[in-house]
């Protein structure tokens, strides 16, 4: 991405321009300031060294644009170029564009991914809109637009592939396909031969989806460009491995005709979408209706910028939702939201919206709604009902952007008491946000068993009956309802005999669950006697109660960030102490590992004023790095943890450790806090154990040195995977690289375990990998002492370990380390388990 530097005599002016420009693109552009001089009496001026440092801070191969105000600012910028190499100077462009308007136009163009020449053109033309509005120039002036790169000098390559995925190219494999395409420069087009479609762009999630690709369909994929062969090879690999999915035949859940039988004696027939019985009062959920008005705009480029800002904010919301859903329902189902992100990056859709705004002078809301409706209509024309249902995701994402454009606040369902939610429909985003402890059931008048909302409901364990008669929408809140998600029936104010039957069925199900939980309270021991401790990852007091009920032997990761979010100031020592002590009391002497604050970078807190958004937040000022730089913040948390440790089995865990020096510095601060507590005669566990997260490759490389400093390791495979594979796990274009079952990541785990074993300390693993059934024999075989997972995964994990022998697990672990890819690892383990 193009970097931008603002050079001004006035630091205050430059920072104001920087703030304004950053807000235009939600901080998603590398933007630096070189302004003023270090002279309290005469602060106005420019410094070439400052300019050079600013250029260096945003420099990339995409180029740097420098905008300046008057006089010596230009001279300082020219002098700064002398400090650069000849090759670097070729990438830096001094621009005569107006400082304020030029900066705003430039950051918007850079955020849209335009090249340096296009960014310069936008900056130079920044005054045109103002001139048109004032009547100084004609509105017929053309607006610069990006051109599609052609590859006529390269021959077109072609491959033909047959789709073997049981559901065809549904949302998740389609997202993988598009993410792979966008890694290459070549133009890639796809035809569905079976349906005899026209060729479409491979970088458009919607065009790929509406090809209507089902199992057995033959595709023709063409590529033209310098890396065409590599692109086609990468795509072929996706098809060969079934996009990481199994290839079993698809057995759809029971689907009742949408022409449902009207209510008879309070009984409603619908679609069985998620099994289970729910009996509770009704609560209606109706998201706010977004009403838009179409109108003419005089400044279409400014209107496009407004839409772009809303899309950027929507992406941030979906990324947050993806992170939350990963914790609650697991990475596999949360991958649904990868497709949502790609929808917002679909070049065909964005170009269509841009064209409507520029050519028709439409307001952003009207243009966006029009293109979303067109895409939704395209999905409706598909013959396959499963692919038709993907329109729900299109509408979900489209409504999210519209809500941001019109300024509506996000509507969430807050229940004071457990209830059955009744609605016309629930979007995937709505469903992912439901609390299974409060939402006992779902009853809607539309939807299907194969919709993403239904999939999420099943994962959350919420019974659901969909497609019932619309009269349920007229029920008063508080009306008693019962539903059976297995039979697809619901009852309004059920008769006593119906209630008795349903209560019996619910009790039988609960008894089975209780038996499973009872077994889960036994230790996880392999057939030949190797015990593995099974802990829980939690992020609240409520989570620890669920964890204990599911058989957790302790908490392997308490994410303390929940105490810091959604508030105006940092939590006090007393607030933190109260929460830590409450969680420890629920655990009743079971171990509680508290990870110190892991914010910054990709998880900013406004009240900490962390400064300019970072270009690479996962590699930035976060975790232990931030805490060491903010010792008072760090010491407040450590005091609360130490105080809570009195009489409890609490351990401290430091995140994002990359060096031995960081561990020693943190331990020094911990020692200071201990001394203060001793002096104040405040009790605490003086022998409290200190461990570190192993999630940075450097920590693996020096694990032997780090082991001498701490009492335990805990491997965080979520972050370790993205660092090992050099892929941002929140970026759908490279997220497919981030796979904890890749042999490169598993070898990192092996190396860490060996270092810990040599040093005589124990080592656990608290990433999502621990909850993957295919990973269980590998992790046991690698010698992990402890596995920490989401509470719901504990019973199955213990059951899987009990069915293993250590010798089998070690043989599997040795074999997978010799594989070439995560796909090979999965196939090998699957074959070994099934045989």
CATH number, domain with residue 68: 3.40.50.510
439 phi and psi, to 5 degrees? -95, 100
Same domain (yes/no): 97, 178: no
Clarify whether 414 is annotated catalytic. Answer: no
pLDDT of residue 687: 95
Q: Higher pLDDT residue, 563 or 105?
A: 563
pLDDT tens-digit map of 694-733: 999 999 999 999 999 999 999 999 889 989 999 876 554 6
Percent helix, strand and coil across the chain, each rounded to 5?
Answer: 50, 15, 35
Which of 133, 166, 196 delimits the end of a domain?
Answer: 133
pLDDT of residue 698: 97
Residue 239 lies in a domain: yes
What are 393's two structure tokens? 């995701």
Q: Higher pLDDT residue, 269 or 124?
A: 269
Same domain (yes/no): 496, 529: no
Residue 163 sits in a domain of what CATH number?
A: 3.30.1340.10
pLDDT at 603 over 60: no
Same domain (yes/no): 172, 101: no
Clarify whether 360 is annotated catalytic. Answer: no
Same domain (yes/no): 128, 276: no
For β-strands 762-765 and 187-192, DSSP reports them as: unpaired
Same domain (yes/no): 318, 271: no
Residue 436 sits in a domain of what CATH number?
A: 3.50.30.10
Same domain (yes/no): 603, 746: yes
pLDDT of residue 534: 96
* CB 627 within 8 Å of CB 668: no
For β-strands 439-444 and 464-466, DSSP reports them as: parallel
| 0.85 surpassed by pTM | no
Residue 617 lies in a domain: yes
* CB 735 within 8 Å of CB 729: yes
pLDDT tens-digit map of 319-368: 777 766 665 665 556 667 777 887 888 888 888 899 999 989 999 999 99
Host domain of residue 370: 300-406
Residue 292 lies in a domain: no
Residue 140 lies in a domain: no
Residues 701 and 737: their CA atoms lie apart, in Å, by: 21
Residue 402 lies in a domain: yes
pLDDT at 148 over 80: no
Whole-Å CA distances, 211 to 47, 64, 239, 383, 395 = 57, 40, 16, 10, 18
Burial level of 581, CB count in 10 A (0-12/13-18/19+)?
middle
Residue 651 lies in a domain: yes
Residue 252 lies in a domain: no
Same domain (yes/no): 535, 463: no
Same domain (yes/no): 337, 481: no
Residue 322 sits in a domain of what CATH number?
A: 1.10.274.10
Residue 608 sits in a domain of what CATH number?
A: 3.20.20.60
Same domain (yes/no): 493, 393: no
3-state secondary structure at position 744: helix
pLDDT tens-digit map of 360-387: 999 999 999 999 888 888 776 665 555 5
pLDDT of residue 129: 46
Same domain (yes/no): 449, 549: no
pLDDT tens-digit map of 288-305: 778 888 999 999 999 999
pLDDT of residue 465: 93
Which of 406, 435, 461 delimits the end of a domain?
Answer: 406
Same domain (yes/no): 377, 500: no
Q: Rounding to the nearest 10 degrees, give the CA dihedral for residues 220, 221, 224, 227.
A: -140
Same domain (yes/no): 79, 175: no
pLDDT tens-digit map of 514-536: 666 678 899 999 999 999 999 99
pLDDT of residue 535: 96
Task: Give the count of domains, the chain.
Answer: 5
Catalytic residue among 308, 340, 452, 648: 452
pLDDT of residue 75: 76
Residue 631 lies in a domain: yes
């Amino acid at each position: 991405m193009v970097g931008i530097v603002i050079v001004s005599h006035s630091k205050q002016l430059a920072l104001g321009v920087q703030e304004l420009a950053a807000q235009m693109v939600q901080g998603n552009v590398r933007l630096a300031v070189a302004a003023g001089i270090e002279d309290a009496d005469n602060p106005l001026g420019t410094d070439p060294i400052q300019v050079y440092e600013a250029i260096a801070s945003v420099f990339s191969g995409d180029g740097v644009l420098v905008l300046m105000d008057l006089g010596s600012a230009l001279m300082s910028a020219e002098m700064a170029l002398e400090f650069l190499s000849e090759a670097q100077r070729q990438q830096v462009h001094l621009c005569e564009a107006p400082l304020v308007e030029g900066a705003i136009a430039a950051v918007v163009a850079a955020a849209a991914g335009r090249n340096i020449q296009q960014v310069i053109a936008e900056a130079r033309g920044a005054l045109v809109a103002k001139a048109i509005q004032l009547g100084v120039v004609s509105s017929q002036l053309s607006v610069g637009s990006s051109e599609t790169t052609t590859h006529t000098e390269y021959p077109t390559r072609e491959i033909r592939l047959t789709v073997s995925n049981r559901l065809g190219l549904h949302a998740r494999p389609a997202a993988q396909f598009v993410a792979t395409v966008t890694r290459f420069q070549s133009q890639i087009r796809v035809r569905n031969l079976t349906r005899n479609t026209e060729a479409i762009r491979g970088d458009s999630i919607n065009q790929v989806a509406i090809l209507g690709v089902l199992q057995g369909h033959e595709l023709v994929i063409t590529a033209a460009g310098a890396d065409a062969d590599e692109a086609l090879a990468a795509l072929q690999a996706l098809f060969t491995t079934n996009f990481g999915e199994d290839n079993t035949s698809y057995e759809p859940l029971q689907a009742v005709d949408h022409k449902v039988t009207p209510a008879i004696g309070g009984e409603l027939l619908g679609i069985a979408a998620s099994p289970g019985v729910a009996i509770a009062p009704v609560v209606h959920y109706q998201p706010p209706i977004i009403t838009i008005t179409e109108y003419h705009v005089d400044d279409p480029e400014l209107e496009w910028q407004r839409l772009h800002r809303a899309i950027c904010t929507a992406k941030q919301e979906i990324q947050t939702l993806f992170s939350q859903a990963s914790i609650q329902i697991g990475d596999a189902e949360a991958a649904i939201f990868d497709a949502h992100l790609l929808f917002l990056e679909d070049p065909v859709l964005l170009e269509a919206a841009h064209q409507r705004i520029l050519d028709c002078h439409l307001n952003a809301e009207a243009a966006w709604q029009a293109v979303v409706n067109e895409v939704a209509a395209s999905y409706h024309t598909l013959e396959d009902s499963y692919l038709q249902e993907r329109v729900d995701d299109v509408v979900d994402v489209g409504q999210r952007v519209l809500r941001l454009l019109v300024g509506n606040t996000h509507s969430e369902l807050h229940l004071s008491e457990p209830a059955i939610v009744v609605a016309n429909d629930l979007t995937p985003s709505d469903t992912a946000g439901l609390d299974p402890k409060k939402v006992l059931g779902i009853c809607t008048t539309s939807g299907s068993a194969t919709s993403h909302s239904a999939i999420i409901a099943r994962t959350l364990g919420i019974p659901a009956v969909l497609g019932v008669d619309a009269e349920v929408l007229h029920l008063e809140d508080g009306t008693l309802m019962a539903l059976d998600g297995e039979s697809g029936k619901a009852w309004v104010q059920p008769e006593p005999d119906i209630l008795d039957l349903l209560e019996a069925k619910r009790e039988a199900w609960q008894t089975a669950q209780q038996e499973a939980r009872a077994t889960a309270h036994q230790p996880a021991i392999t057939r030949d006697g190797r015990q593995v401790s099974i802990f829980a990852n939690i992020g609240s007091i409520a989570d620890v109660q669920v964890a204990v009920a599911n058989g957790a032997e302790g908490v392997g990761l308490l994410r303390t960030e929940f105490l810091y979010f959604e508030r105006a100031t940092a939590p006090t020592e007393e607030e933190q102490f109260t929460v830590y002590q409450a969680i420890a009391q629920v655990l009743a002497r079971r171990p509680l590992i508290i990870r110190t604050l892991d914010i910054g970078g990709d998880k900013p807190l406004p009240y900490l004023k962390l400064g300019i958004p970072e270009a690479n937040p996962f590699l930035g000022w976060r975790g232990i790095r931030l805490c060491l730089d903010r010792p008072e913040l760090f010491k407040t948390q450590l005091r609360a943890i130490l105080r809570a440790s009195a009489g409890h089995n609490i351990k401290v865990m430091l995140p994002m450790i990359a060096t031995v020096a960081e561990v020693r510095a943190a331990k020094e601060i911990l020692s200071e806090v201990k001394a203060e507590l001793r002096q104040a005669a405040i009790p605490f566990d003086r022998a409290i154990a200190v461990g570190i997260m192993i999630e940075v490759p450097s920590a693996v490389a020096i694990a032997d040195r780090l082991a001498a400093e701490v009492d335990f390791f805990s491997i965080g495979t979520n972050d370790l995977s993205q660092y090992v594979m050099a892929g941002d796990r929140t970026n759908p274009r490279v997220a497919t690289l981030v796979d904890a079952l890749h042999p490169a990541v598993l070898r990192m785990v092996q190396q860490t375990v060996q270092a810990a074993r040599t040093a005589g300390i124990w080592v656990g693993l608290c990433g999502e990998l621990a909850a993957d059934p295919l990973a269980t024999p590998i992790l046991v075989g690698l010698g992990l002492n402890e596995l920490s997972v989401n509470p719901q995964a504990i019973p199955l994990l213990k059951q899987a370990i009990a069915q293993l022998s250590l010798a089998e697990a070690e043989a599997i672990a040795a074999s997978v380390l010799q594989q070439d890819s995560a796909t090979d690892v999965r196939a090998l383990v699957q074959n070994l388990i099934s045989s």
